[in-house]
Structures are given as C-alpha cells and as structure tokens.
Amino acid sequence: MMETKTDVCQEKCFHPAKLEKARKAMMPDEALGDLADLFKALGEPTRAKILNALYHVDLCVCDLTVLLDMTQSAISHQLRVLRAAKIVRSRKEGKNVYYSLDDEHIQKLIQLGAEHVLEKGIKKG
C-alpha cells in the first residue's frame, strides 16, 4: 500500500501528556501478544462462519459439517484452533461433542464485530 499525504503528519509534532497517558495505559507486551493471537485466530473466514453459527446456538461437529458443507476433519481442525485460543469450548453428550462460545467476552466480540461490519458495509479492497 502506498503512503499518501493523508497517512502521515505533514508537520513534526510531539504531545508529551498524550504519550504519557498512552504509555501508562498500554497492556504489557505479553498480553498484547495474546491479544494479537486472539485476533489472528478470529481472522479466518471458516472460523468466522463457525463462530457466527455458535453465537446463535450450540452445535455438534456433525451439525457444523452440514451447515458449512465441509468434512468433519476440516471442521475439527478449525475447532482445535478456536479451542486452543479459548474462543470456544466443548462438552461431550453421549457420543457427540457440542461446541459453544467460551464466554460472554467472546459473545460480545462476535456481536460487536458483526454490528460493525453490517453497519459500515465493510468490503475488501
């Protein structure tokens, strides 16, 4: 992406009070790395589809394969990534494994993200 005049300051400036406020408020590097990993795990279209479905209802792997027209192996792979990132959780009922969003923070992320893209009509490119 090419840098334009609207992307950079046209005049050198320095705002010590704002910098100090930002410096004090920033999360530790390790926590920021975890945050980046969370968004990385969220940032894949198939996983976004799974999360969108799980936002509405808990589903077993078989249901997800039908809903997304994918193999059980492919769905399971995506669910492993989401589970490792603590985005979804699983529970076994008989011979089936059901998935749900991990907690209300994840629910809010999905809800706010959906509201943002639907309201703004965000498109690639």
Q: What is the pLDDT of residues 42-70, one digit of tens each?
A: 999 999 999 999 999 999 999 999 999 99
pLDDT tens figures, 78-97: 999 999 999 999 999 999 99
36-50, 90-104, 109-123: lowest mean pLDDT where?
A: 109-123
Q: Note whether residue 23 is domain-resident.
A: no
The confidence score (pLDDT) of residue 10 equals 85
The confidence score (pLDDT) of residue 86 equals 94
Q: Note whether residue 112 is domain-resident.
A: yes
Tokens 């992406």, residue located: 1
Secondary structure class of 49 (helix, strand, coil): helix
CATH assignment of the domain containing 116: 1.10.10.10
C-alpha 29, offset from chain centre: 19
Q: Note whether residue 12 is domain-resident.
A: no
Distance CA 81, CA 71 (A): 16
Q: Note whether residue 64 is domain-resident.
A: yes
Q: Note whether residue 11 is domain-resident.
A: no
- Confidence at 38, pLDDT banded by 50, 70, 90: very high
Question: What is the tally of structural domains in the chain?
Answer: 1
The confidence score (pLDDT) of residue 70 equals 97
Residue span of the structural domain in which 59 resides: 28-120
Q: Note whether residue 2 is domain-resident.
A: no
Average pLDDT of the chain, as a whole number: 92
